[in-house]
Amino acid sequence: MTAFGENLSAFYAVIRRDFHVFLSYRTRLVSQILTSVFSLTLFYYVSRLIRVEGFTTPDRYFGFVVVGIALVGVLYSCFAVSETIRQELVAGTFERLLLSPFGGVRGAVATAIFPLTYAFALSSITLGLGVVIFGLELHWSTVPLALPALFLALLAFLPFGLIFTALTIATKQANVGASWIIALLSIVGGLYFPIALLPGWAQFAAEVQPFTPATELLRHLLVDAPMETSVGLALVKIVGFAEILVPLSLYALYRAIRLGQRRGTIIEY
């Protein structure tokens, strides 16, 4: 048995654990789908009011915002890992991860996989409901390309969640400021409106995080929205952010755990 096989088995165990815990809450999926339907309904009727430059028809804005709604769920799931780890600290199960050869860093990364996969599924359902109920027009020829693009985007988003997990381990507080970050990224990432509407200084903020190019690229691939930059440049930005942020976040997580072990506070919650 190779180390790779053992690691694969451990990652699988964490994903399966989260899947079974999820299944044990029987109404969760239904309630989340209903939330998506309510959001879609709200923005469908808001979009009926939109007839401005950039959105020639209400349907153009609806397509624009549905992708934003789908992505905000993915963004939330990236930050969800820190809340899960906080619960694990309280339950003493994070201690179990630390007492295993798998360890805390890999354990935390593995813990992020199910929520991300689930968020991806829920985003797909949201888009599907948009198509079926509200007549959203997807650009089917490029829709399959959204899958690898979203995977790259997740690699760039996930580090935010891991850095917040490191903060949670260090401070014992869940999601310190995470809701502010999510709100801020929703604004500067152009989730509900084009970033061109923002003042100049805020547009700078739109350039220094991966959410803006990812949103723009996915909109282009899913609903054929025009891009401010080229597809290639958006991809370069996403990959660049991922390359910098993934090792940085893993290091932050490792340091937070080691600091807790050195001080002896890792067992506190």
Partner 1 sequence: MSGVLTEADFEFELPAARRAEPMPLSLRGVSKAWDKGRVPVLNRVDLDIDVGDRVRIAGRNGVGKTTLMRIAAGLIDPDRGQATVWGTSAVEHPERYQRLVSFLPAGDRGLYARLSVRRQLDFWARIAMVPRRQVAARVEEAIEIFDLRELADRRVDRMSMGQRQRLRIAMTFMPHPDVVLLDEPLTSLDGEGAEILFGAIERLLDKGGALLWCSPAGEHLEYEFDRTYMLVEGRLVRA
Using CB under 8 A, pick the residue from 99, 197, 236, 248 that binds partner 1.
Answer: 99
Taking CB under 8 A as the rule, does residue 131 contact partner 1? no
Is 16 near partner 1 (CB under 8 A)? yes
The DSSP code sequence of the chain is --HHHHHHHHHHHHHHHHHHHHHHSTTHHHHHHHHHHHHHHHHHHHHTT--BTTBSSHHHHHHHHHHHHHHHHHHHHHHHHHHHHHHHHHHTHHHHHHTSSSHHHHHHHHHHHHHHHHHHHHHHHHHHHHHHHH-----TTTHHHHHHHHHHHHHHHHHHHHHHHHHHHHH--TTTTHHHHHHHHHHHTTSSS-GGGS-HHHHHHHHSSTHHHHHHHHHHHHH----SS-HHHHHHHHHHHHHHHHHHHHHHHHHHHHHHHHHTGGG--
Residue 95 binds partner 1 (CB under 8 A): yes
Residue 12 touches partner 1, criterion: CB under 8 A: yes
To partner 1, the closest distance from the beta carbon of 140 in angstroms equals: 40
Which residues, 24 to 43, sit near partner 1 by CB under 8 A? 24-25
Closer residue to partner 1, CB minimum distance, 5 or 199? 5
Using CB under 8 A as the binding rule, whether residue 160 contacts partner 1 is answered as no
Choice from 103, 155, 192, 233 touching partner 1 (CB under 8 A): 103
Specify the stretch interacting with partner 1 by CB under 8 A; choose among 185-193, 215-223, 227-235, 260-268: 260-268
Q: Is 154 in the site for partner 1 (CB under 8 A)?
A: no
Choice from 144, 199, 200, 264 touching partner 1 (CB under 8 A) = 264
By beta-carbon proximity to partner 1, the closer residue of 85 and 242 is 85
Q: Which residues of the shown chain bind partner 1 in the complex (CB under 8 A)? A: 1, 5-6, 9-10, 12-14, 16-17, 20-21, 24-25, 91-93, 95-103, 107, 261-262, 264, 266-267
